[in-house]
């Protein structure tokens, strides 16, 4: 009957209760909603970012001879492999035909090898090409070639080549070039990974040369000419395929190859969709772990605050409860009406939480999730709402029952009676015990389960409650001492604290809020920091440009022209071995790498950098077509075959002086053989050999080989007295110590050393294998920073660095950080050292990269143009900020974005508690101060007491809570998955972010101190004499 | 309903304070007839409020017997006490505001107080209750618009909302000016007179006490005196003890040997020395 009036009279209280319930309701519905939306977004994002792995690439396993309309040769036949119920989830398939071919032009001499290439047709390919010249093919055997091929092979529109399929010797046709293209998007999704390579290479000593894709019309493949493979590429559409489709997609992906066999299609699916689905599931489970844990903390805090608020409200209603009981209303009935009165705002608030939760979801969807999730109502939302309502009403019932059950005489007292100062309520005790148990479990357990993640909230709750309960007797003690020492302001303030148990609520709530805020700050900042760090390590620098370099020499020349000071980038060349468990070679420029690469200076220590750099020895350079060495042989001694039971060879006849030179023109390495040096020669002999060094060469190695069938063992000293070229009458060879023997795997018992005498004297013991000394410009064993997980042993070699020859490396023990971008099985060596070593690199196993700093990234267009002008095509392959953004879209990052929201919500709740306590107690406090004024206590003194009675405990509670939050974060953060995978060697950096911790503590203290000071001032201002007689509450 | 009698015998109430037992009432024995208007007098801490709260069932007697009408309060359960307060006993607490719901009008306050009345009990219309205390014209105004005297009248009205047999009023006339005090006192007398309701009220005001037909003075948890129409008398307790009035007690300090004699039908107290000589 009086419910409406009761609610209207205490509208502020109702509003506060509704507000807290609103927060609980919001958390309750938002958590499952957001969790679901994150799952959907993660799926959409993963499918988008991994478009190619998530695709179904159905292709025939072998070439078919009849195509273009016949059932078994029609790529459309592969479409049947996509289950009908999943077709809507896949893009329209892109059908294709391709045939590897070799081709020749009539001007080629017969012995000249054919050039390799690929003849391709795809649905709508012409729309994916920029036709630079000519047109797209329209008739059989017309092709459009890449612009790179035009340059390399001097093609013109109308040029024709005689093509032949690689695996069909009977087929082939004359192909006519009708145009030139450049891909519209070099790595566009249209290509499904089958994009034009951009590789066009003229023949060399090592290679017959190659062309980029020739695109042809479908009609070219009609007949039995090309025996092409056919394909049908399709991919799951992000945003259309949803979480609930995952299981069906997984099943379909797992069974598609079996279905192909059943359908008699000689085809297979090379999709990695199963792996992608696993990743999505993994991220889903992360989201399911983090979101509830984060939201449960704030929801639990909300429940605690609701309980505290209701406690304050029920305390304030004590006179009304007493009145009701006084008039004979039973405790049960009194409780029922009060439960109704307080339950209504709680119920309304919680229900309104659905709207705010939905609003938050819309905001999160529009901002964090970028509309990556559909609007839907998972069953967990109403379930969580019901749970929140039940919990909210349960708290109301418990608090009201606690209040109503007091005796009437107790209810009639103005200040609620309480036990002795050290008494702790059962509920508080349970909370403290639970929190301490949780903390102990977190600290001593295996770190699994939800308790450790709840540590910040539990710890701050336990500490806050303990502090709150210690506060009352302590404040009493302080009050008495301060009174004795004449500090009346402090005495009064402390006295007020000691006689008002309500302050314990504030202290506990503020401590929890401080803890949650500190934890939120740590979680958010540490998460951000790790995403940035990992992105930095993974990308390598601010950005990476990939170039189509072929040789170290040319590449070095180009980069030296474009950025000689390395202001914008550092070059990195990566050579990958064919075997995945072999050691890769990462070639860097130490000086610029330290400056430009992300944390490049942390790769190794100063001694490591010094060891890594190329030796500072001047190379032996010359330009000539002939190289002459004057040598004399002495101390000749025939040796027996050291292999017991081995064949007896004829006595050795000669030694063949050999030199290894590195061309400065193209970086290739040549082995130069001089005429044989007969062992019987007593006088110095001038030995001359032709060299391809008009463009300049560096002498790298000197050594000896043997003539054919001359396998007898011999030891001798060969003194080189003069080295000359056509243009240089004399070259120096450095000192004997500059020459070191080169190791050979599986070599015979021969050896070679250098010693003084002439320009250089070589002391050799030779059986049949070659023996070489290497000049000191390149160490014979190259120092390398080797990733720690690789089990290094002496004699370890890297992948072929040049000319297929393994490079011996010695592991530097000064590695101090992970290797950027290539953290596994990698040997980081000096680029200049490898360049001096010379030789050709495997084009398909080597990446030439430019790692950009911020300045370089800012001028990436100019750099691209400059490289293009130098004949290189460059592509921005990785950008750190994009990687950070990408990590920001992971389930972990998306869910951790909640933590600041949680911190702010916790802080808001603490302020609510503070306000509520003041709202419910200001009148009696004002009466107390008014009474004191009557007794002669001056207003400034009561003012000081009023201001500081809450500010002191609150400030201390913020400090304790913040400390608990920071400590709790140290326990909880290692258990929160910051990334979908472990991150391999990149370490998580979970140390406390002190600026954030201190900033939040200081900010929190200031905010609450200002609030409490203002409220205290307000209370003191209202402490008028008339207040003493005021009775109506 | 007619008034309820109050009868106490050897009523004791002990409470615990700071670890010690304190006897608020030490064997009170009083009898109030139905329809009587009785004032409880005595200094602060004498036990008046405790006696009132015991009569209202707000406290439980530590010992002794306490009978309100048919109710033996010493043996009643909480629910029975609730039922008793819902119809038979009305209580007006000290401080008028404490008796009222602040956001309700006088009329609604009376209604609120009638809510718990047993269904079989005939309760008067709220407006009639207000008329009884002279607040009919202010039935619907906000409490804050009333004078202190009117607020107190409203508190009294709430106390009699169910027309109980006993009205317990704790200092209903305190903190009021003389005019308001007289109005409240007059209202209580009217209630007592018209309804036959037994009224037990506490007062410190001698003028109010003088206006009451019967007063009981309590001192140190015992009945010190009784008054009849302004005259005060000592009361012989059931154990035969006789608390002396203060002015007599000054002449006979504690430990004084007193010879009690009856002369001409009068009891004479003669102090004697420690040897027994007068």
Same domain, B22 and B112: yes
Mean pLDDT, residues A749-762 taken together: 80
The whole-angstrom separation of Cα B25 and Cα B55 is: 13
Same domain, B167 and B83: yes
Mean pLDDT, residues A854-860 taken together: 92
% chain A with pLDDT above 90: 19
Query: Is residue B169 domain-resident?
Result: yes
Q: Which of A219-223, A474-478, A786-790, B204-208 has the lowest mean pLDDT?
A: A219-223
Question: A324 in contact with B at a CB cutoff of 8 Å?
Answer: yes
Instruction: Decide: A56 and A269 in contact? Cβ < 8 Å.
Output: yes
Residue A747 has pLDDT above 80, yes or no: no
Question: A328 in contact with B at a CB cutoff of 8 Å?
Answer: yes
The whole-angstrom separation of Cα A122 and Cα A139 is: 15
Total CB pairs under 8 A between chain A and B: 77
Q: Is the ipTM of this complex over 0.90?
A: no
The whole-angstrom separation of Cα B76 and Cα A685 is: 135
Query: Is residue B26 domain-resident?
Result: yes
Instruction: Decide: A589 and A660 in contact? Cβ < 8 Å.
Output: no
Contacts of B98 in chain A (CB under 8 A): 319, 323, 412, 1031
Q: How far from the centroid of its chain's Cα atoms is residue A604's Cα?
A: 22
Q: How far from the centroid of its chain's Cα atoms is residue A629's Cα?
A: 56
Q: Which of A348-352, A959-963, B3-7, B173-177 has the lowest mean pLDDT?
A: B173-177
Question: Could you give the C-alpha distances from B213 to A708, B6, B210, in angstroms and in order?
Answer: 149, 16, 8
Range with top average pLDDT, A295-304, A599-608, A806-815: A599-608
Query: Is residue B183 domain-resident?
Result: yes
Helix axes B178-195, B148-159, angle to 10 degrees: 20
Minimum distance, in Å, between the CA of residue B274 and any CA atom of chain A = 47
Q: Residue A308: phi, psi to the nearest 5?
A: -65, -45
- Going by pLDDT thresholds of 50, 70 and 90, the confidence category of residue B140 is very high
Instruction: Decide: A144 and A111 in contact? Cβ < 8 Å.
Output: no
- Going by pLDDT thresholds of 50, 70 and 90, the confidence category of residue A420 is very low
Range with top average pLDDT, A38-42, A205-209, A540-544, A934-938: A540-544
Residue A962 has pLDDT above 90, yes or no: yes
- pLDDT attached to residue A70: 47
Angle formed at CA A288 by CA A282 and CA A289, multiple of 5 degrees? 90
Question: B86–A329: do the CB atoms touch at under 8 Å?
Answer: yes
Contacts of A5 in chain B (CB under 8 A): 103-104, 108
Question: A419 in contact with B at a CB cutoff of 8 Å?
Answer: no
Q: Which of A236-250, A307-321, A925-939, B167-181 has the lowest mean pLDDT?
A: A925-939
Question: A328–B79: do the CB atoms touch at under 8 Å?
Answer: no
Residue A996 has pLDDT above 70, yes or no: yes
Question: A409–B99: do the CB atoms touch at under 8 Å?
Answer: no
Contacts of B112 in chain A (CB under 8 A): 2, 327
Same domain, B217 and B98: yes
Query: Is residue B1 domain-resident?
Result: no
Question: A412–B82: do the CB atoms touch at under 8 Å?
Answer: no
Interface test with B, best of A316, A320, A322, A327 (most B CBs within 10 A): A327
- pLDDT attached to residue A915: 78
The token pair that represents A458 in the structure block: 């539990």
- pLDDT attached to residue A110: 65
- pLDDT attached to residue A1032: 44
Question: Could you give the C-alpha distances from A525 to A519, A815, A991, A1000, in angstroms and in order?
Answer: 10, 28, 11, 12
Residue of A745 and A654 predicted with greater confidence: A654
Contacts of A326 in chain B (CB under 8 A): 56, 58, 85, 91, 93
- Going by pLDDT thresholds of 50, 70 and 90, the confidence category of residue A421 is very low
Question: B102–A408: do the CB atoms touch at under 8 Å?
Answer: no
Mean pLDDT, residues A519-542 taken together: 90
- pLDDT attached to residue B141: 93
- pLDDT attached to residue A148: 79
Mean confidence (pLDDT) of chain A: 83
Interface test with A, best of B112, B120, B169 (most A CBs within 10 A): B112
Residue B125 has pLDDT above 90, yes or no: yes
Minimum distance, in Å, between the CA of residue B87 and any CA atom of chain A = 7
What is the domain count for chain B? 2
Domain residues for the domain of B152 are: 6-241
Same domain, B248 and B202: no
Range with top average pLDDT, A113-117, A643-647, B44-48, B169-173: B169-173
Instruction: Decide: A54 and A191 in contact? Cβ < 8 Å.
Output: no
- Going by pLDDT thresholds of 50, 70 and 90, the confidence category of residue A387 is very high
Instruction: Decide: A774 and A742 in contact? Cβ < 8 Å.
Output: yes
Helix axes A552-562, A860-869, angle to 10 degrees: 130
Question: A326–B85: do the CB atoms touch at under 8 Å?
Answer: yes
Interface test with B, best of A10, A11, A12, A328 (most B CBs within 10 A): A328
Q: Which residue in chain A is spatially nearest to B95 when comparing CA positions?
A: A1031
Same domain, B49 and B176: yes
- pLDDT attached to residue A800: 59
Residue of A908 and A477 predicted with greater confidence: A477
Residues from B contacting A (CB-CB < 8 Å) are 53, 56, 58-59, 78-79, 82-87, 91, 93, 95-104, 108, 111-113, 115-117, 143-144, 158, 161-162, 175
pLDDT tens for A913-949 read 777 777 777 777 787 788 778 877 788 888 888 887 8
- pLDDT attached to residue A437: 64
Question: B82–A1: do the CB atoms touch at under 8 Å?
Answer: no
Instruction: Decide: B169 and B201 in contact? Cβ < 8 Å.
Output: yes
The whole-angstrom separation of Cα A362 and Cα A309 is: 30
Mean confidence (pLDDT) of chain B: 89
Mean pLDDT, residues B135-143 taken together: 92
Same domain, B50 and B147: yes
List the domain boundaries for chain A: 1-50+284-414, 56-271, 425-538+881-981+992-1033, 549-615+780-872, 620-775
Mean pLDDT, residues A621-645 taken together: 85
Q: Which of A489-503, B139-153, B188-202 has the lowest mean pLDDT?
A: A489-503
- pLDDT attached to residue A71: 42
Question: A325 in contact with B at a CB cutoff of 8 Å?
Answer: yes
- pLDDT attached to residue B111: 93
Mean pLDDT, residues A77-85 taken together: 85
Instruction: Decide: A1009 and A912 in contact? Cβ < 8 Å.
Output: no
- Going by pLDDT thresholds of 50, 70 and 90, the confidence category of residue A469 is confident
Mean pLDDT, residues B267-272 taken together: 86
Same domain, B192 and B79: yes
Q: Which of A84-98, A327-341, A914-928, A929-943 has the lowest mean pLDDT?
A: A914-928
- Going by pLDDT thresholds of 50, 70 and 90, the confidence category of residue A803 is low
Same domain, B110 and B230: yes
Question: B78–A325: do the CB atoms touch at under 8 Å?
Answer: no
The whole-angstrom separation of Cα A1024 and Cα A931 is: 9
Same domain, B211 and B260: no
Range with top average pLDDT, A244-248, A430-434, A835-839: A244-248
pLDDT tens for A262-301 read 777 777 888 888 889 988 888 888 787 777 777 777 777 7
Same domain, B237 and B248: no
- pLDDT attached to residue A581: 74
Query: Residue B246, class by beta-carbon neighbours within 10 Å (0-12 exposed, 13-18 middle, 19+ buried)?
Result: exposed
SS3 call for B146? coil
Q: Which of A108-122, A956-970, A991-1005, B119-133 has the lowest mean pLDDT?
A: A108-122
Contacts of B175 in chain A (CB under 8 A): 1029
- Going by pLDDT thresholds of 50, 70 and 90, the confidence category of residue B179 is very high
pLDDT tens for A880-897 read 998 888 888 788 788 887
Q: Which residues of A398-437 are buried (b: 16+ CB within 10 A; e: fewer)?
A: ebbebbbebebbebbeeebeeeebeebeeebeebbeebee
- What is the spatial order of strands in the sheet that A569-575 belongs to? A809-811, A782-786, A826-830, A584-588, A569-575, A846-852, A543-547, A874-879
Contacts of B111 in chain A (CB under 8 A): 1
Same domain, B235 and B248: no
Considering only the beta carbons, identify the residue of A329, A331, A1032 that sits closest to B143: A1032
Residue of A370 and B128 predicted with greater confidence: B128
Count other Cβ atoms within 10 Å, centred on residue A347: 19
The whole-angstrom separation of Cα B219 and Cα B241 is: 14
Mean pLDDT, residues B67-78 taken together: 90
- pLDDT attached to residue A422: 43
pLDDT tens for A717-741 read 888 888 999 888 888 888 888 888 8
Same domain, B75 and B194: yes
Question: B93–A412: do the CB atoms touch at under 8 Å?
Answer: yes
Interface test with B, best of A326, A330, A414, A1030 (most B CBs within 10 A): A326
- pLDDT attached to residue A342: 93
Residue of A120 and A260 predicted with greater confidence: A120
Instruction: Decide: A327 and B109 in contact? Cβ < 8 Å.
Output: no
């Amino acid at each position: 009957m009086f419910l409406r009036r009761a609610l209207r009279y205490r509208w502020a209280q109702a509003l506060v209760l509704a507000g807290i319930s609103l927060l609980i309701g919001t958390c309750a519905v938002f958590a499952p909603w957001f969790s679901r939306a994150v799952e959907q977004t993660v799926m959409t994002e993963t499918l988008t970012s991994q478009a190619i792995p998530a695709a179904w690439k159905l292709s025939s396993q072998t070439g078919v001879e009849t195509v273009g309309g016949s059932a078994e040769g029609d790529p459309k036949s592969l479409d049947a492999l996509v289950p009908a119920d999943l077709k809507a989830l896949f893009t329209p398939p892109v059908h294709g035909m391709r045939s590897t071919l070799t081709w020749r032009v009539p001007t080629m001499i017969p012995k000249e090898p054919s050039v390799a290439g690929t003849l391709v047709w795809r649905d709508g390919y012409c729309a994916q090409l920029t036709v630079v010249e000519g047109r797209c093919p329209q008739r059989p055997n017309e092709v459009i070639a890449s612009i790179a091929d035009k340059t390399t092979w001097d093609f013109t529109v109308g040029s024709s080549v005689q093509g032949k399929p690689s695996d069909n010797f009977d087929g082939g046709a004359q192909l006519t070039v009708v145009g030139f293209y450049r891909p519209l998007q070099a790595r566009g999704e249209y290509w499904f990974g089958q994009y034009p390579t951009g590789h066009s290479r003229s023949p060399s000593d090592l290679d017959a040369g190659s062309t980029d894709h020739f695109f042809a019309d479908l009609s070219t493949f009609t007949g039995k000419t090309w025996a092409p493979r056919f394909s049908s590429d399709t991919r799951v559409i992000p945003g259309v395929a949803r979480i609930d489709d995952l299981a069906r997609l997984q099943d379909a992906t797992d069974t598609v190859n079996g279905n192909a066999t059943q359908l008699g299609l000689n085809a297979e699916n090379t999709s990695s969709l199963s792996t992608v689905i696993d990743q999505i599931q993994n991220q889903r489970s992360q989201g399911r772990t983090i979101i509830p844990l984060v939201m449960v903390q704030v929801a639990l805090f909300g429940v605690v605050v609701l309980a505290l608020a209701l406690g304050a409200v029920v305390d304030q209603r004590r006179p009304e409860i007493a009145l009701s009981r006084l008039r004979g209303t039973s405790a049960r009935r009194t409780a029922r009406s009060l439960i109704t009165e307080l339950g209504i705002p709680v119920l309304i608030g919680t229900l309104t939480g659905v709207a705010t939760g939905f609003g938050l979801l819309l905001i999160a969807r529009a901002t964090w999730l970028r509309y990556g999730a559909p609007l839907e109502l998972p069953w967990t939302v109403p379930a969580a709402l019901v749970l929140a309502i039940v919990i909210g009403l349960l708290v109301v019932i418990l608090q009201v029952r606690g209040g109503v059950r007091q005796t009437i005489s107790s209810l009639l007292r103005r200040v609620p009676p309480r036990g002795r100062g050290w008494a702790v309520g059962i509920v508080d005790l349970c909370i403290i015990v639970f929190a301490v148990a949780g903390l102990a479990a977190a600290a001593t357990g295996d770190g699994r389960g939800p308790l450790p993640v709840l540590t910040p909230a539990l710890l701050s709750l336990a500490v806050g409650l303990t502090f709150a309960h210690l506060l009352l007797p302590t404040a009493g003690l302080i009050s008495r001492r301060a009174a004795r020492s004449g500090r009346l302001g402090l005495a009064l303030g402390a006295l007020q604290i000691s006689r008002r148990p309500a302050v314990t609520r504030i202290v506990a709530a503020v401590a929890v809020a401080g803890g949650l805020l500190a934890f939120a700050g740590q979680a958010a900042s540490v998460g951000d920091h790790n995403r940035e760090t990992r992105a930095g390590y993974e990308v390598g620098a601010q950005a990476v440009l990939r170039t189509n370099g072929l040789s170290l020499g040319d590449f070095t020349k180009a980069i030296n022209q474009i950025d000689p000071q390395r202001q914008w980038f550092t070059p990195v060349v990566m050579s990958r071995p064919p075997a995945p468990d072999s050691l890769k070679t990462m070639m860097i420029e130490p000086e610029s790498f330290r400056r430009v690469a992300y944390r490049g200076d942390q790769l190794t220590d100063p001694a490591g950098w010094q060891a890594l750099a190329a030796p500072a020895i001047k190379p032996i350079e010359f330009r000539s077509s002939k190289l002459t060495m004057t040598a004399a042989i002495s101390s000749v001694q025939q040796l027996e075959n050291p292999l017991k039971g081995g064949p007896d060879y004829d006595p050795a006849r000669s030694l063949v002086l050999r030199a290894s030179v590195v061309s400065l023109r193209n970086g290739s390495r040549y082995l130069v053989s001089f005429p044989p040096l007969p062992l019987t020669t007593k006088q110095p002999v001038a030995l001359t050999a032709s060299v391809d060094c008009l463009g300049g060469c560096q002498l790298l190695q000197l050594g000896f080989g043997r003539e054919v069938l001359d396998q007898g063992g011999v030891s001798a000293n060969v003194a080189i007295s003069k080295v000359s070229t056509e243009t240089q009458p004399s070259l120096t060879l450095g000192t004997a110590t500059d020459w070191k023997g080169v190791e050979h795997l599986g070599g015979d018992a021969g050896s070679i050393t250098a010693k003084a005498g002439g320009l250089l004297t070589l002391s050799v013991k030779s059986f049949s294998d070659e023996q070489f000394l290497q000049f000191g410009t390149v160490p014979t064993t190259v120092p390398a920073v080797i990733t720690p997980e690789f089990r290094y042993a002496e004699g370890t070699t890297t992948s072929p660095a040049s000319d297929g020859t393994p490079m011996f490396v010695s592991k530097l023990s000064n590695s101090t950080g992970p290797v950027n971008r290539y953290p596994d099985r990698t040997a980081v060596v000096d680029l200049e050292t490898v360049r001096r070593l010379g030789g050709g690199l495997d084009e398909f196993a080597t990446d030439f990269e430019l790692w950009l700093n911020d300045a370089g990234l800012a001028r990436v267009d100019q750099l691209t143009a400059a490289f293009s002008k130098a004949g290189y095509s460059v592509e921005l392959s990785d950008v750190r900020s994009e990687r950070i953004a990408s990590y920001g879209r992971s389930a972990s990052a998306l869910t951790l974005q909640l933590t600041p929201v949680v911190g702010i919500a916790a802080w808001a709740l603490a302020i609510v508690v503070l306000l509520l306590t003041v709202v419910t107690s200001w009148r009696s406090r004002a009466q107390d101060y008014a009474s004191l004024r009557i007794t002669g206590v001056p207003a400034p003194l009561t003012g000081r007491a009023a201001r500081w009675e809450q500010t002191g405990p609150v400030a201390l509670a913020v400090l304790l809570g913040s400390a608990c939050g920071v400590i709790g974060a140290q326990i909880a953060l290692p258990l929160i998955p910051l990334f979908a995978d472990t991150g391999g060697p990149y370490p998580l950096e979970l140390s406390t972010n002190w600026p954030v911790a201190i900033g939040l503590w200081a900010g929190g203290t200031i905010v609450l101190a200002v609030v409490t000071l203002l409220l205290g001032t307000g209370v003191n201002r209202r402490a008028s004499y008339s207040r003493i007689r005021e009775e109506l509450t | 309903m007619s008034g309820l009698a109050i009868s106490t015998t050897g009523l004791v109430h002990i409470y615990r304070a700071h670890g010690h037992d304190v006897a608020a009432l030490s064997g009170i024995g009083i009898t109030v007839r139905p329809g009587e208007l009785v004032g409880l007098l005595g200094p602060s801490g004498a036990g008046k409020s405790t006696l009132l709260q015991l009569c209202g069932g707000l406290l439980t007697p530590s010992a002794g017997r306490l009978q309100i009408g048919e109710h033996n309060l010493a043996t009643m359960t909480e629910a029975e006490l609730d039922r008793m307060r819902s119809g038979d006993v009305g209580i007006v607490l000290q401080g008028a505001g404490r008796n009222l719901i602040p956001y309700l009008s006088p009329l609604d306050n009376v209604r609120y107080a009638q809510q718990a009345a047993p269904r079989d009990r005939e309760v008067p219309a709220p407006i009639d209750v207000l008329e009884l205390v002279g607040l009919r014209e202010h039935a619907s105004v906000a409490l804050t618009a009333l004078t202190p005297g009117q607020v107190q009248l409203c508190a009294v009205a709430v106390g009699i909302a169910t027309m109980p047999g006993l009205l317990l009023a704790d200092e209903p006339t305190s903190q009021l000016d003389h005019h308001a005090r007289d109005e409240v006192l007059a209202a209580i007398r009217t209630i007592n007179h018209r309804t036959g309701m037994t009224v037990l009220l506490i007062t410190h005001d001698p003028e109010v006490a003088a206006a009451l037909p019967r007063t009981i003075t309590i001192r140190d948890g015992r009945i010190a005196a009784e008054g009849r129409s302004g005259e005060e008398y000592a009361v012989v307790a059931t154990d035969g003890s006789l608390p002396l009035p203060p002015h007599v007690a000054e002449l006979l300090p504690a430990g004084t040997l007193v010879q009690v004699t009856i002369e001409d039908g009068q009891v004479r107290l003669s102090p004697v020395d420690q040897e027994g000589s007068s």
